[in-house]
């Protein structure tokens, strides 16, 4: 569920009906691929990811499962960099993160070998690669990817403060999961400075406040953590898109509840955690790998407030869901977020 990647949109006038495309239907000349790739982008921007995947894969000659392979890049394949990046983004959105990371790394290799690589495109590819590593809990790799994206953005003649904030947010989360809280603090300080010059939408502002609150809780600075989560909830309410704010609100409510549990105010935390769970059960698009931890947060509160049967039932649900993520390490009770599903 890539949060920030933006794919260029070609002219979509007079396109044939959308449908599955086979490699045999794709012209051999890369110059003639504009139509199929435009159809793939249409499907991607409309949220039809399976369809977009098939169109992109056919256009660049992949077969089912080939996205997990890292193949040598033949000379003259510079045109492949953009389609590989876009297919990698789609596979990240589909949750196929290992395949996404391989496709994105191949795109980066091709772009980097070009005579005049576009730093803006490379920066975006590195950033999406960071999110692909995040969803596989490979935070050392994601920290490296975000750092590469940031170096490219910082090196431009006119860096975009909004892009810098986006990349720095991912970098701060990676540092948190690596336990490098001093580095995460330094990144948040830079974000705060950039926010004085860059107006960002309420959704992204609330997301940053969620992650700042998570860092403050891990540092034991509970009053500051609660303040950040409460401010995040206020900002999320101003988001123009109810769908995206619904998911982020679920995180913020749970994280605020956990911060309050830390000071043993169980009755105060209970309604916040209950609201978070109600949003999740109601369809809030929370990252699937985070749902078990959010359930455990509420179960802890239920146990502390004497509702032991309800707590056991919720823990059983959480345990069943965790089996779908066998390689996922145990999450911290308060969850940082560097991406959420969002319409482009």
Span 195-225, pLDDT tens digits: 877 777 788 888 888 888 888 888 888 999 9
* CA 140 from centre of chain: 16
pLDDT at 200: 76
Q: What is the mean pLDDT of the segment spanning 325-339?
A: 50
What is the pTM for the complete model shown?
0.68
Q: What is the mean pLDDT of the segment spanning 43-70?
A: 72
What average pLDDT is seen over the chain? 78
pLDDT beyond 90 at 336 = no
pLDDT beyond 90 at 265 = yes
Provide, rounded to the nearest whole percent, the portion of the chain with pLDDT above 90: 35
pLDDT at 312: 94
Q: Provide Rg for the chain, Cα atoms.
A: 21
pLDDT at 99: 92
In sequence order, what DSSP letters do the residues of 43-86 get, joined into one string? Answer: HHHTT-HHHHHHHHHHHTT--TTGGG--PPPPTT-GGGHHHHHH
CA distance 69 to 71: 6
The CB-side HSE value for 325 (13 A sphere, CA atoms) comes to 21
- Tokens (6 digits) for 283: 């369809």
Q: What is the mean pLDDT of the segment spanning 224-236?
A: 92
Q: What is the mean pLDDT of the segment spanning 4-17?
A: 22
CA distance 138 to 158: 31
pLDDT at 26: 34
pLDDT at 29: 41
pLDDT at 68: 44
- Rounded to the nearest 5°, which phi and psi values hold at 87? -65, -40
CATH topology for 1-117 is 1.25.40
pLDDT at 76: 52
Say which residue, 69 or 184, is predicted with more confidence. 184
Q: What is the pLDDT of residues 132-163, one digit of tens each?
A: 998 888 999 999 999 999 999 999 998 888 88
């Amino acid at each position: 569920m890539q949060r920030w990647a933006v794919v260029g949109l070609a002219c979509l006038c007079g396109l044939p009906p959308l449908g599955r495309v086979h490699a045999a239907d794709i012209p051999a000349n890369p110059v003639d691929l504009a139509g199929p790739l435009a159809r793939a982008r249409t499907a991607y921007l409309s949220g039809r990811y399976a369809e977009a995947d098939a169109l992109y894969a056919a256009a660049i000659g992949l077969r089912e499962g080939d996205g997990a392979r890292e193949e040598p890049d033949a000379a003259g394949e510079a045109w492949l960099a953009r389609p590989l990046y876009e297919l990698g983004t789609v596979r990240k959105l589909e949750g196929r993160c290992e395949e996404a990371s391989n496709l994105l790394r191949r795109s980066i290799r091709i772009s980097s070998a070009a005579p005049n690589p576009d730093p803006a495109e490379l920066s975006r590819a590195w950033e999406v690669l960071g999110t692909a590593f995040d969803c596989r809990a490979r935070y050392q790799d994601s920290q490296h990817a975000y750092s590469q994206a940031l170096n490219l953005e910082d090196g431009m003649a006119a860096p975009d403060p909004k892009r810098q904030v986006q990349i720095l947010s991912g970098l701060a989360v990676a540092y948190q999961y690596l336990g490098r809280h001093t580095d995460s603090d330094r990144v948040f300080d830079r974000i705060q400075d950039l926010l004085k010059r860059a107006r960002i939408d309420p959704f992204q502002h609330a997301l940053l406040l969620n992650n700042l609150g998570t860092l403050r809780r891990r540092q034991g600075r509970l009053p500051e953590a609660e303040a950040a989560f409460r401010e995040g909830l206020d900002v999320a309410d101003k988001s123009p898109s109810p769908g995206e704010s619904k998911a982020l609100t679920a995180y913020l409510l749970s994280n605020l509840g956990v911060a309050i549990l830390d000071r043993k105010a169980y009755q105060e935390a209970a309604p916040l955690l209950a609201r978070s769970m109600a949003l999740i059960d109601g369809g809030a698009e929370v990252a699937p790998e985070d749902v078990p931890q959010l359930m455990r947060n509420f179960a802890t509160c239920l146990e502390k407030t004497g509702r032991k049967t309800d707590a056991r039932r919720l823990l059983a649900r959480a345990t069943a869901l965790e089996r779908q993520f066998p390689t996922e390490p145990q999450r911290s009770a308060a969850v940082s977020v560097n991406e959420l599903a969002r319409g482009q």
